[in-house]
């Protein structure tokens, strides 16, 4: 019996640093929260001094058990487009679901 080939859909995200001229943050530690493929991952806490140095690498995988490329295409097309946050940064909250 021939072996079935598996498909891999993965994203490796590397975040080195974040900077934003003219922005002052409260004197607390913060972290970066990332949602890709409906999976949440966060970077370590860092001091609020620009540039924010994360040096983080996160890997997100989707469809680890997929075999048929048509199924993957159908699932990707059915996903909703990512939304963007508009307004002051203080209003950004942890979303309930990606």
Give the pLDDT confidence of 40-94 residue by residue, as tens digits.
898 899 998 889 899 989 888 877 666 777 777 776 676 655 544 444 444 444 4
pLDDT recorded at residue 37: 79
96 within some domain: no
H/E stretch holding 40: strand 39-42
95 within some domain: no
Q: Is 72 helix (H, G, I), strand (E, B) or coil?
A: helix
Burial 9-26 (b: 16+ CB within 10 A, else e): eeeeeeeeeeeeeeeeee
32 within some domain: yes
6 within some domain: no
91 within some domain: no
pLDDT recorded at residue 3: 59
35 within some domain: yes
4 within some domain: no
Verify cis geometry, omega within 30 degrees of 0, for the bond prior to 81. no
Q: Is the dihedral of CA 30, 41, 82, 16 positive or negative?
A: positive
84 within some domain: no
pTM for the predicted model, two decimal places: 0.52
Range of 70's domain?
A: 15-77
- Contact in structure between 13 and 36 (CB atoms under 8 Å): yes
Rounded to 5°, angle at Cα 57 from 15 and 28:
60
């Amino acid at each position: 019996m021939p072996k079935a080939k598996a498909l891999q859909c993965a994203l490796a995200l590397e975040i080195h640093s974040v900077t934003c001229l003219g922005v002052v943050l409260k004197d607390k530690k913060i972290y970066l929260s990332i949602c890709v493929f409906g999976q949440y991952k966060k970077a370590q806490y860092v001091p609020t001094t620009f540039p924010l140095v994360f040096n983080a690498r996160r890997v997100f995988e989707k469809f680890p058990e997929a075999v048929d490329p048509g199924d993957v295409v159908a699932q990707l097309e059915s996903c909703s487009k990512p939304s963007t946050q508009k307004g002051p940064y203080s209003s950004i909250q942890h979303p309930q679901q990606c």
